[in-house]
Structure 1
């Protein structure tokens, strides 16, 4: 099929702050997390590397390839006042409302779900065939929502541990998931 592109979405490696909501906070990945991403990428075929500009993704991308293009649109959801905090520290009702409807109940001072989906969808549309994107769990879920039509509840069902890879085959008018690996 003409116009088809393969894009690999790789979640960054484990961070030095596991278990926290890490949005736009610039927390680094661990050495082991970076190594996990290098191993995951070794099994993929790609010609281009794009990365979120946040350190936890950028360091993994740099370890994978030398010609990395950074794009802030691939950042994680902005968790606003919740950034860097553990879920147990937050108001349980507010957190439950966010997970139930992240578009109408975004984190205080943070980004709504549709904002994340819109910026990731725009970034995804510009990618060339055979591209590896090193990004974040929320951005991968947003890419699946935009490309495949999943709603927020459906994308939360995907388990995306650090260094997980989702490969999608994209056409101008449709997308098909071809592989999900962790």
Structure 2
């Protein structure tokens, strides 16, 4: 297949967890009781699209709920949320009381700042970019529904729109929202297009 074909990405954030803490790699289930919202999302997404998700249950179960009769690809661990390390499942106020400079730098000037035992924003971007690049390479010209997480979706908005990390973090990404990107060609620094961001069908 020609490398000039356009691949469309539909980035879906998993259903809500209702957690009031930093949830990264912890495997907390999603609340998928809003069947009307799931039905709308299922109906909005392309019928012939391939479906892939991170390997965390909140993404996997959301993918199952909206994918239905679509072809499912193997779950990919590199599509996970940010790894918060020692901050995992703790509140902002808890961490701010212990390490205010680091947590504020992490969110206000994201880049190489790393939570203890976790990963920096730049590391998240490298991980997710690699997974998305591989997915596009394997399925050029297809529509791809990628069910994942807040941070994972922001990494792709950042590179598609050529934003700074701070600009990317200004975007709101709601649960069960869709962000639509396209890619054409083989140059990962170019060929991106960005459509709807945080669209709720």
Where structure 2 has 5 or more consecutive residues not aligned to the other structure, the ranges are: none
Moved over 3 A (4+): 33-38
C-alpha distance in 2, partners of 1:40/1:20?
Answer: 26
Alpha-carbon distance change, 120 to 56 in structure 1, aligned in 2, over 3 angstroms:
same
C-alpha distance in 2, partners of 1:33/1:102?
Answer: 33
User: How far 1:38 moved relative to its partner?
Assistant: 4.6
Q: Residues 137-177 of structure 1: CA distance to partner in whole angstroms, max 9, x if unpaired?
A: 00000112233322210111111011111001111232111
User: How far 1:100 moved relative to its partner?
Assistant: 2.1
Name the structure 1 match of 2:119. Answer: 111
User: How far 1:103 moved relative to its partner?
Assistant: 2.2
TM-score after normalising by structure 2: 0.82
Name the structure 1 match of 2:41. Answer: 40
Q: Secondary structure at the match of 1:20?
A: coil
Q: CA RMSD in A?
A: 1.9
User: How far 1:81 moved relative to its partner?
Assistant: 0.5
Name the structure 2 match of 1:151. Answer: 164
Name the structure 1 match of 2:22. Answer: 21
Equivalences for residues 5-154 of structure 1 within 5 A? 5-17=7-19, 19-32=20-33, 36-45=37-46, 46-66=48-68, 67-68=71-72, 69-91=74-96, 92-125=100-133, 126-127=135-136, 128=139, 129-154=142-167
C-alpha distance in 1, partners of 2:86/2:146?
Answer: 27
C-alpha distance in 2, partners of 1:177/1:2?
Answer: 17
Where structure 1 has 5 or more consecutive residues not aligned to the other structure, the ranges are: none
C-alpha distance in 2, partners of 1:44/1:71?
Answer: 20
Alpha-carbon distance change, 28 to 35 in structure 1, aligned in 2, over 3 angstroms:
farther
Name the structure 2 match of 1:176. Answer: 193
User: How far 1:53 moved relative to its partner?
Assistant: 0.4
